[in-house]
Amino acid sequence: METIVRAACPHDCPDTCAMLVTVKDGVAVKVQGDPLHPFTDGTLCTKVAHYAERTYSPDRLLHPLKRIGPKGKGEFKQISWDEALDEIAARLKAIAAVNPEAILPLSYAGTMGMLQYSSMDRRFFHKLGASQLERTLCSSAGKAGIKATLGGSYGMDPEHYQDSKLIVIWGSNPIASNLHFWSRAQEAKRRGAKLVAIDPYRSLTAEKCSQHIALLPGTDGALALGMMHVLVAEGLIDQDYVSKYTLGYEELKKRLKQYPPDWAATTCGITLEEVVQLARDYGAVKPAAIRLNYGMQRHAGGGIAARTIACLPALTGAWRDPAGGILLTTADNYHFDHAKLERPDLMPAKRPRVINHSKLGDALTAPESPVRAVVVYNNNPVAVCPDSSKVIEGFAREDLFCVVMDSFMTDTADYADIVLPATTQLEHTDIHKSYGHLYVLANNPAIAPVGESLPNVEVFRRLAARMGFDDDCFRDSDDALARQAIGSGHANLAGMDWESLKRDGWKRLALPASFAPFAKGGFHTPSGKCEFYSESLKAQGVDPLPFYNPPAELPSSNPQLARRFPLNFLSPPVRNFLNSSFANLPRFRDAEGEPSLELHSDDAAKRGIADGDAVRVFNDRGSFTLKARVNDKPRRGVVVAPSVWWKKFARDRKNANDLTSQRTADLGGAATFYDCLVEVERTGLT
């Protein structure tokens, strides 16, 4: 018998696709996009179209395991769930009896489902009094920046981009990472719109845009300031919009005198014409839209850069049209009841310390108040956290008790004392929001768990019982949790109920079909206006007006370091992996070949490097050996290692994060993966 089960893609991507899973005799035989879902429109990316291969991979972890070899060697024996959970509970109890803050949950976005990502797990660690994790690996700089200007994670409805006449694709590679936005951008182009990519690298996307502005990494704020200078100087401002709906225009205008377009051109390493023309296009073409994405904010000045760029649409009144404005993330439209799901009230009155995920290496190797246990789920920190050698030094500690819950034996799982097999999205229930559209989605389980694997929610229910946590909330069912998620009573969730969501698969938030969120102001800032001047930044000790905050490791910021390491190293995601997920599966690894470093031919020639040579990329933090691709896609002075590879599949068991730093950005405590200087040399190997 064949049935169709409604599901949602769980991966950390703005698209959050609606899926239909065909199940025959208890086996998932096909995973496809739901053609009726307005945003994702029946198409899935190359990875998730083959999701069943991930679920049924021969490499799936099927049973709990206990380490029998040295840490990092990946030698384990099978044990029962009871043995595994008894041992974990006993170890956590003993550590908590001395100091619960010595326990650290390590979770990120392996799944974005609200149940498996942030419900029972958070309750468990809150009740335990464990250290809190500040989840900063991806987006927190940009989000904080946008919040300062617009008041939160709000922006254009992405379903309107096809009606834009100019789309600036800024720090974003949507062909790889935001496919369904890209199909709308292409439709706009067919209707005559100009697409401009702003990226130091000629990505798959930049290649297909009408214009590519290849600025120096981390200089986006300077470009936006130069554009604003031109907009003001040439009278391309919407005075009526500015006077009604913005705060601080006169101060901004004065500030912009410091940032003429020739300064911006020099700072960004582009031509004066590029700055001026972009400003003129942006000021004149209506409606003009910006798709800002996270690539531009992985730098020391990334938060302020995002804040500065977010000022543009208010200056020109682009917000007046549904197809104008800017979007970084739609996440704050949802108003899910996170407090109910996560229960921060279960934490002890003296709030446990907070550890920054981006400084995990330091946290695990600190001699003071050491971390004694980590529980890892939805996260592969050995592969994805910056400054790997420190992270590995931490995970290799004999005195660190380490539990890893995953579906595969990741680089991190190799260091575990206990490994617990996790279900995939086809095997558990979940409820999803999206950060790239405005629908809520349900994920129904399509098949029974593979092997003995269990959903995160169930593991934390069972662990809570063993720890003696007897609050009722530790017995909530999956359905109860999903109802709590959408039970905040906020107007955007009006008419949303879990039974119909499960039946229909998805439903749009209660927002108008066509809407321009800030056409008449209504920003979510304290003043209700678009804040060119931000009191809340001032209160944090940050300049309240937009300014240029340079990256830390650009050669002009750090000439001394650049003498030894003159090249900017970028490691953005490849198309066939999802961060480090899928990077272990043959189909996707074969499609990507092997770890490679893309270079400009001038930089290659200076070093005697030819296409196909094995090269070592290095700095004071580490090194990584990969294959040179001399293709002129990165601008001069920039090298690009598409990522995130598993270390165990690389020839020297390293990856890009052996080079990246633990330095955090100006806002949001965020990681700065792309703010990284390196040198490259031929290895002499092939």
The stretch near ligand MGD (CB under 6 A) out of 253-261, 371-379, 464-472, 625-633 is 371-379
574 scored as a contact of Mo ion (CB under 5 A): no
Which tokens in the block code for residue 188? Answer: 């706009």
Which residue type is seen at 112?
M
Candidate residues 149, 571, 623, 625; the one interacting with ligand MGD per rule CB under 6 A: 571
Which tokens in the block code for residue 481? Answer: 């949790």
Q: Give the shortest CB-643-to-ligand MGD separation in angstroms.
A: 5
Q: Give the shortest CB-213-to-ligand MGD separation in angstroms.
A: 8
609 scored as a contact of Mo ion (CB under 5 A): no
Q: Give the shortest CB-330-to-ligand MGD separation in angstroms.
A: 14
The stretch near ligand MGD (CB under 6 A) out of 90-98, 169-177, 535-543, 600-608 is 169-177
325 scored as a contact of ligand MGD (CB under 6 A): no
The stretch near ligand MGD (CB under 6 A) out of 167-175, 277-285, 356-364, 598-606 is 167-175
Query: Could you tell which of ligand MGD, Mo ion, none binds residue 656, using a CB distance below 5 to 8 A set by kind?
Result: ligand MGD
| Cis amide prior to 555 (ω within 30 degrees) | no
Report the Cα 284 to chain-centroid distance in Å.
33
217 within 8 A of 674, measured Cβ to Cβ: yes
Residue closer to Mo ion, measured from CB, 138 or 179: 138
171 scored as a contact of ligand MGD (CB under 6 A): yes
Which tokens in the block code for residue 462? Answer: 């069972």
408 scored as a contact of ligand MGD (CB under 6 A): yes
112 scored as a contact of Mo ion (CB under 5 A): no
What value, to the nearest 5°, has the Cα angle with vertex 47 and ends 44 and 53? Answer: 110
Distance, CA of 520 to CA of 315 (rounded, Å): 14
Residue closer to Mo ion, measured from CB, 230 or 383: 383
**Three-state SS at 401:** strand
245 within 8 A of 529, measured Cβ to Cβ: yes
Name the residue among 291, 326, 300, 286 with its Cα closest to residue 206: 291
Residue closer to Mo ion, measured from CB, 8 or 138: 138
570 scored as a contact of ligand MGD (CB under 6 A): yes
Candidate residues 198, 265, 268, 279; the one interacting with ligand MGD per rule CB under 6 A: 198
Q: Give the shortest CB-573-to-Mo ion separation in angstroms.
A: 8
The stretch near Mo ion (CB under 5 A) out of 133-141, 166-174, 349-357, 367-375 is 133-141
Tracing tokens 């439903």 back to the chain, one arrives at 507
Candidate residues 9, 19, 48, 109; the one interacting with ligand MGD per rule CB under 6 A: 109
DSSP 8-state class, residue 58 = T
Burial state string for 392-404 with b = 16 or more CB within 10 A and e = fewer than 16: bebbbbeebbbbb
Residue closer to ligand MGD, measured from CB, 215 or 237: 215
330 scored as a contact of ligand MGD (CB under 6 A): no
Within 10 angstroms of residue 612's Cβ, the number of other Cβ atoms is 12
Query: Could you tell which of Mo ion, ligand MGD, none binds residue 657, using a CB distance below 5 to 8 A set by kind?
Result: ligand MGD
221 scored as a contact of ligand MGD (CB under 6 A): no
Tracing tokens 């290692």 back to the chain, one arrives at 641
The stretch near ligand MGD (CB under 6 A) out of 147-155, 258-266, 294-302, 537-545 is 294-302
Query: What does the chain come to in residues?
Result: 686
299 within 8 A of 674, measured Cβ to Cβ: yes
548 scored as a contact of ligand MGD (CB under 6 A): no
What would the x/- binding string for ligand MGD be over residues 76 to 95, using CB under 6 A? --------------------
Distance, CA of 405 to CA of 128 (rounded, Å): 18
Of residues 215 through 244, those in contact with Mo ion by CB under 5 A are: none
156 scored as a contact of Mo ion (CB under 5 A): no
671 scored as a contact of Mo ion (CB under 5 A): no
Residue ranges of alpha helices (H) inside 557-645 are 559-564, 586-592, 601-606
Please provide the DSSP assignment of 455-476 as one string: -HHHHHHHHHHHHT---GGGG-
384 scored as a contact of ligand MGD (CB under 6 A): yes
The stretch near Mo ion (CB under 5 A) out of 137-145, 195-203, 499-507, 603-611 is 137-145
Candidate residues 378, 596, 619, 661; the one interacting with ligand MGD per rule CB under 6 A: 378
Residue closer to ligand MGD, measured from CB, 185 or 296: 296
What value, to the nearest 5°, has the Cα angle with vertex 593 and ends 21 and 376? Answer: 60
Q: Give the shortest CB-301-to-ligand MGD separation in angstroms.
A: 9
Distance, CA of 203 to CA of 520 (rounded, Å): 36
Name the residue among 486, 453, 460 with its Cα closest to residue 474: 460
113 within 8 A of 432, measured Cβ to Cβ: yes
Distance, CA of 452 to CA of 471 (rounded, Å): 27
- Edge to edge, what strands does the sheet with 27-33 contain? 2-8, 18-24, 27-33
Name the residue among 413, 376, 393, 411 with its Cα closest to residue 76: 413
Site size for ligand MGD (CB under 6 A): 58
Q: Give the shortest CB-538-to-ligand MGD separation in angstroms.
A: 26
**Three-state SS at 282:** helix
Residue closer to Mo ion, measured from CB, 48 or 630: 48
Within 10 angstroms of residue 190's Cβ, the number of other Cβ atoms is 9
The DSSP bridge partners found for residue 134 are 356
> Which residues bind to Mo ion, rule: CB under 5 A?
138
> Which residues bind to ligand MGD, rule: CB under 6 A?
12-13, 108-111, 116, 137-138, 170-173, 176-177, 198-201, 203, 217-218, 220, 293-296, 299, 377-380, 383-384, 405-408, 410, 422, 456, 570-573, 575, 577-581, 643-644, 656-657, 660, 673-674
